[in-house]
Structure 1
Amino acid sequence: MTDNQPAHNERPSVWQVLAGVHRDERTVLVLSALYFFLVMASYFILRPIRDQMGVAGGVRNLPWLFTGTLVAMLLVSPLFSAMVSRWPRRRFVTWSYRALMACLLFFYVSLVSLPESNQVWVGRAFFIWVSVFNLFAVSLFWAVMADVFKSESSRRLYGAIAAGGTLGALMGGVVTSFLVEILGAPSLLLISLVMLEVALWCMFVITGKRSADAATAREESSNSEAIIGGNALDGFKLALRSPYLLGVSGYMLLYTIGSTFLYFLQAQIVDNTIDGRVAQTAYFANVDIWVNSLTLILQVFLTGRLMARIGVGLTLAALPLISIIGFIGLGLTPVLAAVVIFTVARRVTNFAFSRPAREALYVPLSRGEKYKAKNFIDTVVYRLGDQIGAWTNGVLLWLGMGIAGIAFTAVPLAAIWLGLSLWLGSKYRIKQAEETEAAAKT
């Protein structure tokens, strides 16, 4: 009998009942969930501030901010790939997070010291940077998780780990909603910085814990800390060479195009309906609170069990299905209430189901693909979809389409996305079988 199997006379623990957690996985699971809690709390403190600054800079200028974000991603992604090629995991993860902290300190100084006339441009730069921060910090977290967990454990535990992130996102929204009037937005950046530093130390403990585990983990730990090698363009090359990764790229592209359509529709309605910076910031924070509260419940009680039972493909398909229904509904009833309902439903489905399933797609892959190709897809491809969505939205507005027309335009894209989800699920099962077979031979 192993630690993973309770004795017949043992009653299942709460861990096993809620998330199917084995006894020897508890410590790493808690640390991983705490790590993600802090990363997401750090980001969701910044998100409402970013969204308000985007609206303050002019809704019609948002496509240019999305262009700036894509350019920033094109610059950052090769630099990160170069670090991965030359440094062990602990070092390149440390440098990445500390660089984000330095940027937070820079924006804090800029917001408290520069005159009001320059704040619009600081806000635009902050919008671009937070959009990079979000994808980069979260992508790096999940890459570390893909290095720590195997396919079987990832399907069981990713839901619980994601719940830690959701709780952090909920906390971040609450912090911003309650403290933005008391402390002001600049001071919240320092709270975000501290959380990111603590998250980095969680990563140190997780990797140290894995290194100190039983003898069977020593070789795995050694491999995970080995220098991957290659060059700065490997992420791009790996993503293009693999039909599987091309499919993941397509999934990401269609997801972000739809998300951008919905983001612009929401921004237009908020700008027309809600007056004042503080009220707009509070609105975005309150939407985040609703999203993260519902997501947390689903992740704790349903995500892991659902993904283990119906598979990765059907779990991935939940988000495009909700998107088809939501865009049709928004096209028929283009009002603030419809935007709020669709936004909450779509984001809850993404965080609770599709995101953990999407991250599971990387687990059977090589370390180069986990860090380099994944980072390229999560950053450059993601923001390319933003760019396509932003400028397509602009063209549709120029052609005279309103909210309803833009919403209906997104429906056929969501249908293609649904088919791609099911295809990826079938390919994942093949990759998973190959991983299991390779493990059995060692």
Structure 2
Amino acid sequence: MLKKFVDVKEGETGPVLLSFVYFFTLMCGYAILKPLRDEMATAGGVKNVSWLFTATFVVMLVAMPAFSALVARWPRQRVIPLVYRFFLLNLLGFFLVLKLDVVAREHVARAFFVWVSVYNLFVVSIFWSFMADLFASEQGRRLFGFIAAGGTVGMVVGPFLVQHLAEPLGATHLMLLTAVLLEVSAQCVRLLSRQARVVQPRAAVAEAPVGGGVFAGFRLLFSSPLLLGLALQMLLYAATSTFLYNQQAHIVASVASGANARTAAFANIEFWVQALTLVLQTMVTGRLMARFGLGVVLAVAPLLTVLGFLGLALVPGMLMLIGFRSLRGASHYAFERPGREVLFTSVDRETKYKSKGFIDTVVYRGSDSVSSWMYTGLDKLGLGAPALAMVAVPVAALWLAVSVWLSRLARHQHPSAPAGTSALASTADAVR
């Protein structure tokens, strides 16, 4: 049955399905927390997103060295569940503070906004580091699209649960459901670690601590063209995302009057993003990557972003926005994100858990912060929505160029690879 959707081979079915469930629980838990965060932000008077992005970036600067210290000393099957249970305890703390009403809700809202922003990037980055450690490069090209679909299903189920359980149970009590899902994620790590030898022989030796220094993730980043390219790619993706987020807010506000109408508009956009993503992840990603290689897979999202911002500059309307957001979001989650993760499958373990985490969290949130302040400044200078869309076009074009260069670098590391593929067996040399 599974072979209808993904090219699984003998011994892979169990780990692939477990990885699907693992990512589902993570993203379903986040999808439950996201509307709680947004509601508290509105009720608590949280308005200045730029300051909150900056605060998130500062927290990331502290969190990443702490995580690096853990993976340097302890094996992954202990560190990853430990991190998830740390976040679980944080969540229980927020639940108690809200139930007991011992802190002003406005302060709790700000802290919760920053915490959820850190939590989302951190747990997802750790998930993909584990996947890159568990599966080989060839397996990643075949399987990561389907595994990523588990997260998409979670992003669909989470809001459904909030919609039907928030009123009868109380919104705050849904935090407990996320806590349960986090524990399920921790148990998936334990079970997948036991199956490492089944997935691939080399994964069994990866249970040892990573070793290295606390700031190795930052140091390794500047010792490798591959990692610098991945960091720049992430920075440019985040920058275009911030500009698009603000464009979306302006367009929706101009065509939808009232909170209910705006909520319905946002929900409509997210529905099409997730629906299209799920179809592409389960039906297209693995086959596209195997047939055309990472070059095409990595280029789709930035190319659509260039065309989308040009479209918004010319026709800044709701239909253009929905089409742009749907195609860009689906292509990122279905193509670019799995493709990026394949690039990490053949690098050394210290790079997977430290440099990758630094790129996925600190670089991402740093770009968020800078881009948000930049957009705010340009908006105050009087640039309208079409002009601001045009500002994002060269940024997206640079993102496209970096993505193409990354795929060529990967092929250059293994020149004997067949045409149209991205064999990365030698890319570990680029980061050592």
The TM-score, its normalising length taken from structure 1, stands at 0.89
Contact 1:320 1:415 in 2 (8 A): yes
> Which position in structure 1 is the counterpart of 2:407?
425
> Which position in structure 2 is the counterpart of 1:197?
183
> Which position in structure 1 is the counterpart of 2:105?
119
Contact 1:160 1:300 in 2 (8 A): yes
Letter in 2 for 1:305: R
- Report the alpha carbon displacement of residue 146 of structure 1 after superposing the two structures with TM: 0.5
- Report the alpha carbon displacement of residue 344 of structure 1 after superposing the two structures with TM: 2.2
- Report the alpha carbon displacement of residue 337 of structure 1 after superposing the two structures with TM: 4.0
Task: String of CA shifts for 1:101-141, please: whole Å, max 9, x gaps.
Answer: 111112222333327x9222222211111111111011100
> Which position in structure 1 is the counterpart of 2:97?
110
Q: 1:348 to 1:89 in 2, by over 3 A?
A: same
Task: String of CA shifts for 1:42-73, please: whole Å, max 9, x gaps.
Answer: 11112233334445566850100110110111
Q: Matches of 1:316 and 1:58 in 2, distance apart?
A: 39
Q: Please show how residues 201-350 of structure 1 align to structure 2 within 5 Å.
A: 201-211=187-197, 213=198, 217=201, 220-221=203-204, 223-270=205-252, 273-276=256-259, 284-285=266-267, 287-350=269-332
Q: Please show how residues 177-196 of structure 1 align to structure 2 within 5 Å.
A: 177-196=163-182
> Which position in structure 2 is the counterpart of 1:6?
none
Query: Which of the numbers 71, 74, 82 marks the counterpart of 1:87?
Result: 74
- Report the alpha carbon displacement of residue 345 of structure 1 after superposing the two structures with TM: 2.1
Unpaired segments ≥5 residues, structure 1:
1-13
Unpaired segments ≥5 residues, structure 2:
418-422
Q: Please show how residues 8-27 of structure 1 align to structure 2 within 5 Å.
A: 14-27=1-14
Q: Secondary structure at the match of 2:5?
A: helix
The yes-or-no answer on 1:154 pairing with 2:140 is yes
Contact 1:320 1:414 in 2 (8 A): yes
Contact 1:39 1:195 in 2 (8 A): yes
Q: Matches of 1:288 and 1:139 in 2, distance apart?
A: 22
Letter in 2 for 1:266: Q
Q: 1:83 to 1:265 in 2, by over 3 A?
A: same
Letter in 1 for 2:34: R
Q: 1:171 to 1:438 in 2, by over 3 A?
A: closer
Q: 1:369 to 1:257 in 2, by over 3 A?
A: same
RMSD between superposed Cα atoms in Å: 2.3
Bigger shift: 193-202 or 424-433?
424-433
Q: Matches of 1:403 and 1:417 in 2, distance apart?
A: 21
- Report the alpha carbon displacement of residue 429 of structure 1 after superposing the two structures with TM: 2.2
Bigger shift: 257-266 or 172-181?
172-181
Contact 1:166 1:292 in 2 (8 A): yes
- Report the alpha carbon displacement of residue 435 of structure 1 after superposing the two structures with TM: 5.5
Contact 1:170 1:288 in 2 (8 A): no
Q: 1:435 to 1:269 in 2, by over 3 A?
A: closer
Task: String of CA shifts for 1:266-294, please: whole Å, max 9, x gaps.
Answer: 23445563534x77666545543332222
Query: Which of the numbers 401, 404, 416 marks the counterpart of 2:386?
Result: 404
Contact 1:100 1:133 in 2 (8 A): yes
The TM-score, its normalising length taken from structure 2, stands at 0.91
Q: Matches of 1:107 and 1:424 in 2, distance apart?
A: 41
> Which position in structure 2 is the counterpart of 1:166?
152
Letter in 1 for 2:239: I
The number of residues matched between the two structures is 420
